[in-house]
Amino acid sequence: MRLQLNKLFLVLSVLSALIGLGFLAWILITLFVQGLSSLHFNLFLNDLVDGGLRNLIVGQLVLAFFAGAVGIPLGMVAGIYIREYGRGKYAELIRDLSDIMMSAPSIVIGAFVYAIAVIPFGGANGFAGVLALAIMMIPIIINTTDSMLSLVPKELREAGIALGASKYRVILDIVIKAAKVGIMTGILLAFARIAGETAPLLFTSETSNYFSLDLTQSFPSLTVSIYNLANEPEQSSRDLAWAASFILTFMVLIINLTGRFITRNKK
């Protein structure tokens, strides 16, 4: 009886793992089949208005890069504060709040940015999209910086201080260097995550059918356009949406895997 129960338990557990793998395979195969069949080289040369995706891919990357340019330094410095400078309750509070913010609904962040950066300027603009993504990115970066710095042994810091270096020199030249790989991985994972976000962009940057690098106007976004295209009745729009989804997932997974590859090699 005990052994049979155990067997049943093992079977159920393995079955769960297979279900998980099955869903992953199902989604990836769907993406490959649908995506590759509608993928053309021309998609990378034309803009959406001519049935291509060039402006959307560039737009999405521009949004994510600018969000990273704002969010990565801010998040890193805030993470350094929590781990290196902060003492007691306040640092603890910020750490908790940042953890909570990491799980905050992304659509709410979109609504917040809509209220402060879209309504006052009279319409969707790229800056608002960048702001929304940056707000999503900051807590993720804080979290990784914080936990990666916690892995750096105390002796390294003490050695630096003993040599007469000031605290910020120790942090920037020794501690950050020691935690470099982990932080890089965290940044790549965070970048991969926000690059695939849709909800915060829906009513902040919206999307555009034309090529644009002007952040003061509504800005082309791959994810928002996928949402629009997938909801259109024509088969051609849906095919385009699948091709775009394939490209998006491919980009996101490559960045994600690169990040994890770096840490694995280090170990």
Partner 1 sequence: MEKLFQKISFTSATLVLVLLLGIFTTLFLSAKPAIDEFGFNFITDKRWNQEVPLTQTQTDSQADAVVEEDNTQSDVDDEDDMIADEDDMILDEDDEDSQAATKTVYGGLVPIVGTLLSTIIALAFALPVAMGIAVFLAEIAPKKIATFVGGAIELLAAIPSIIFGMWGLYYFAPIIAEAFGGYQVSLLTAGLVLGVMILPFMAAVTRDSMNTTPDVLKESAYALGATKFEVVKDVIFPYSKVGIIGSIILALGRALGETMAVAFLIGAVYSLPEKITDPTISIPVAMAVNFGEASGLGESALFYLGLILFILSFAIISFAKFYFLKRVKS
Site for partner 1 in 7-46 (CB under 8 A): 9-10, 12-17, 19-21, 23-24, 26-27, 30-31
Among 55, 106, 144, 205, binds partner 1 (CB under 8 A): 106
Q: Does the protein bind partner 1 through residue 77 (CB under 8 A)? A: yes
Task: Determine which residue in the list 61, 115, 162, 213 makes contact with partner 1, applying CB under 8 A.
Answer: 115
Nearer to partner 1, 20 or 213 (CB): 20
Q: Contact 48/55 with Cβ under 8 angstroms?
A: yes
Report DSSP letters for 223-249, one per residue: HHHHHHHHTSSSHHHHHHHHHHHHHHH
Of these, 57, 109, 128, 140, which contacts partner 1 (CB under 8 A)?
109
Among 80, 148, 187, 247, binds partner 1 (CB under 8 A): 80
d(CA 201, CA 106): 9
Give least dist CB 59 to partner 1, A: 15
Count Cβ atoms below 10 Å from residue 117 Cβ, excluding itself: 18
Give the shortest CB-130-to-partner 1 separation in angstroms. Answer: 15
Q: Yes or no: say if 252 and 230 are a contact pair by the CB < 8 Å rule.
A: no
Query: Considering the rule CB under 8 A, would residue 86 count as an interface residue with partner 1?
Result: yes
Residue count, binding to partner 1 (CB under 8 A): 87
Kindly calculate the radius of gyration of the chain based on its CA atoms and give it in whole angstroms. 22
Those residues with Cβ within 8 angstroms of residue 152's Cβ, 6 or more apart along the chain or in another chain: 175, 178, 179
Residue 191 binds partner 1, judged by CB under 8 A? no
* Cβ closest to partner 1, residue 43 vs residue 244: 244
CA angle 30, 50, 234 (to 5 degrees): 50
Task: Write each residue from 207 to 246 as x if it is in contact with partner 1 (CB under 8 A), else as -, in one continuous string.
Answer: ----------------x--xx--xx------x--xx--x-
Selected binder of partner 1 within 51, 147, 193, 215 (CB under 8 A): 193
Instruction: For residue 201, count CB atoms less than 10 angstroms from its CB and return exposed for 0-12, middle for 13-18, buried for 19 or more.
Output: buried
* Smallest gap from residue 15 Cβ to partner 1 (A): 7
Q: Which among 49-57, 156-164, 165-173, 212-220 is the span making contact with partner 1, rule CB under 8 A?
A: 165-173
User: Which of residues 58, 112, 181, 262 is near partner 1 by CB under 8 A?
Assistant: 112
Token digits of residue 49: 């208005």
Q: Please, which residue, 39 or 226, has the CB nearer to partner 1?
A: 226
Tokens of 148: 């990666």
121 near partner 1 (CB under 8 A): no
Please state, in angstroms and rounded to a whole number, the distance separating the CA atoms of residues 143 and 146. 5
Query: Hey, what amino acid is at 80?
Result: I
Contact in structure between 236 and 46 (CB atoms under 8 Å)? no
Nearest to 126 by CA among 75, 60, 69: 60
> Which residue from 40, 69, 99, 150 is in contact with partner 1, where contact means CB under 8 A?
99
Interacting positions 125-164 with partner 1 (CB under 8 A): 135, 138-139, 142
